[in-house]
Structure 1
Amino acid sequence: MPPALWSLEGAAVTPRFPPGDIGGAAYFEERGGGLAAYDIVSGRRRWRGPAVREVWGGSRPIALDTDGTVLFLAAANGAVLKRIKADADRLLAVDRDTVYVLDRAGEIRALRSADGTQRWHGKLPVPGPVAAAGGHGLVTVVSATGAVAALSAADGARMWRYDISGADRPAPDTEACRPAMSSEAVVLGGGAALTALAPRGGGRLWQLAADERAGFGEPTATGDKLYVRDGAQLRAVDAVTGKAAWTVAAGAELAPRPGPLVVGAGVHAALANPELGILAVHTGRAAAQYVFAPALASAAPWQGAAVAGRVVWQRGSSVSALPAM
């Protein structure tokens, strides 16, 4: 197992949002409640930002204030560039130039990333709770009930709807599972089957049954490959054909979310029992793998993110950065 680049204490014990990437720096919620960004190589703090309850990173970071205001932040220093009063309940998804917000009235608001102006708004197309992802000119919204609807990113018009069949639906007590956007498909996980839908029309392209009773977790797409947990297995699947590329037995059940993190030649997935740590597998040599399991007092689950070619994992107040494989 390669040594961590750095590890530190001082993150929020029960964070309101997972770590992520802002402009190539690792961000997370500090113990005092503020957003902070740390250099991914040295582990030194770059800046401190406002106290927020949700963040989407990248080169144009977006955050949600405690009163439902959407904050547009500067990636370089965390300064608030613009505040948009949206009565937002949560940040739903982002794509290349739009952030999608779910407001407290149950409507989706599409805001331009460049200036925060509203592109469109409309009612939630499926019953909540929901998860969503942007891509292929759509924002695809998935309900925990198994209903899926794709809206036009341009104007919010409903383009298609798909209903996951009863046997393949997620368990009724689970959260909605965020869809993955491969180069060719919208991919649904979170139940007894992994299903790929055509972005145009929503027709089913292929479906893969889970091997294990616990079923699939949240899938991750990278080009024409998908990576997903299937109970106690980590699986790589061809996103075009739905055929399995390789399967690795984890030795214990993997967490259904977050979806596997793909960094360099490695796929990293958290185990459901956080004390067992993180499984890392080489994408080209599935036999090359290791487990990262530091001894920590926290009972919190692992939350992670890919940051500038490295992997950042948080469990309670502890944050560690790992190199790529």
Structure 2
Amino acid sequence: MGYRVAVVGATGAVGREILKTLAERQFPVDEIVALASARSAGREVSFGDKKVLKVQNLETFDFTGWDIALFSPGGAVSAKYAPKAAAAKCLVVDNTSHFRMEPGVPLVVPEVNAAALKKARKGIIANPNCSTAQMMVALKPLHDLFRIKRVVVSTYQAVSGAGKSGMDELFSQTKGSFVNDAPTVAQFTKQIAFNLIPHIDRFMEDGSTKEEWKMAVETRKILDPDIKVLATCVRVPVFIGHSEAISIECEKPVDLEKARAALRKAPGVILRDEREDGGYVTPIECVGEDDTYVSRLRIDPTVENGLAFWCVSDNLRKGAALNAVQIAESLDEQHLIGKDSPLWQPVARPEEPA
């Protein structure tokens, strides 16, 4: 049996990747619609190699009778239209940050906490931040083994995390540098070409940025409420592919060979740890790949029970589109999609936290 599927924000980088991923993974689609703002209505987007969809206006669209909607239009748009879709009993998987910390909205990385989908009592499931998603895939097998109590992570995040405009700005500044054009700074706070910017999202009162705050609170919601996280998030002049240098402190003694074995078996992880020139994975090598790659695995001697490693992933796929489609696949496997889904049934007991 197939489903009626809506992709919201279909003209953006993530929306296009969602359409591509749905087709590649042969998600059971009977009918699909591409939705975006009124100014994008009438444009065409691809679904697979052969099908072209004409974009429809989200503002006038009726979600009644549609089974599932995958949203990636921006937080303010999701805040307005995701509840409307859910009210029409169209299950929502939202890529924005708007619902992530809301009670009753599961925050899901399917390799880590797919069981949380059954707690989606508002008809909305949230996709985590791109940098959080790949870290969760890598941390889960290690947490199961050694019980992580603290994470220190530095991220090196591609400009595609800021959307098409971020990619355009890096391209424009890079091209301009070869003809001595002064860089135009618009999307980022400083020049991004040939530079690093230790600032993603807005600053908070304690001096951290909201991106860093997201990684901490989302890790606790997805993996374990007792884990402490210190993140430093940096934008780098890479088009696609987030990288992370991660150090963990665990409750139990760390065994390097057991860690390697667990990572090799973990779903969504590929371990490449060859300890030689080129024996690691860089962001350019992960573009278009579904897996999260782990390299440079080693004991951290500065803390008791410490382990350090390098982790890269395609942020448009695992960080956004792929994870959303995997959530849809998990919902299908658990028979949670459709008008007869138990998610639409009233709950007599008090609502559990997601």
Q: Fold-level match, TM-score > 0.5?
A: no
TM-score norm. by structure 2 comes to: 0.30
Structure number having the greater strand percentage: 1
Larger Rg: 2
Q: Which has the higher helix share?
A: 2
What is the TM-score normalised by the length of structure 1? 0.32
